Structure formats: C-alpha cells, structure tokens
C-alpha cells in the first residue's frame, strides 16, 4: 500500500498501545461530552460482528471525513477499531467516562 505520509500508520502494530488507549479515551470522552452515550453503545454493540468491515469503511471514507476530523487521528482510530478487544475497551471507557 502506498503511503505518501510516513506519519500515518498503515497497520495497527505501528501504533503503540499507550497511544491506542489514549485515542480510545479521547473518543470516549468526546462521545460522553456530546451526550451520545446511548446511541454509541447501541451502535458499537450491534456492530461488533462487523467491526473489521466498519473500520475498513472508515478508511475508505477518510478523504471525505478529513474535512471535519484531523486525518492522522481519524486514520489511527479506524485501524484501532478493527480489533475486537479495542471495541470492547471503547465501550468500557464510555461507561466509565459517563459514571
């Protein structure tokens, strides 16, 4: 895969685990601040079996979404969310942030 920006990782292993956790915490706090806890939990729970496909769709839509989100962080989150354990961790972080 051609990567014109060496700052943006191409595989999940390129992202250190502490950075993965920090990005998931940031996303969880963003969700809670906007009162999207219930829809986010519902969406994540129902989409668990398809999380890899969903993460690939996030990557495919990245050129359009970069108008709203910082490209590097968005791409990293897309890679992080392809792993089942990270989706479960995000759910736990959302619940902790709300409580």
How do residues 6-45 score in pLDDT, each as one tens digit? Answer: 667 778 888 999 999 999 999 999 999 999 999 999 988 8
For residues 46 and 91, is the Cβ–Cβ distance under 8 A?
Answer: no
Higher pLDDT, 77 or 99: 77
How many angstroms separate the CA atoms of 3 and 67, rounded? 19
What pLDDT shows up at residue 3? 53
Tokens of residue 85, six digits: 């354990």
How many angstroms separate the CA atoms of 33 and 24, rounded? 14
Neighbours of 93 (CB within 10 A): 19
Which SS3 state, helix, strand or coil, does residue 1 take?
Answer: coil
What pLDDT shows up at residue 2? 45
Q: Which residue has the tokens 């079996």?
A: 49
């Amino acid at each position: 895969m051609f990567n014109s920006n060496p700052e943006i990782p191409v595989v999940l292993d390129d992202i250190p685990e502490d950075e993965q956790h920090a990005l998931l915490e940031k996303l969880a706090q963003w969700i809670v601040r906007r009162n999207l806890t219930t829809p986010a939990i519902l969406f994540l729970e129902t989409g668990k079996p398809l999380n890899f496909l969903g993460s690939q769709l996030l990557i495919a839509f990245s050129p359009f979404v970069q108008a709203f989100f910082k490209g590097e962080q968005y791409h990293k989150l897309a890679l992080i969310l392809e792993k089942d354990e990270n989706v479960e961790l995000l759910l736990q972080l959302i619940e902790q942030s709300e409580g």
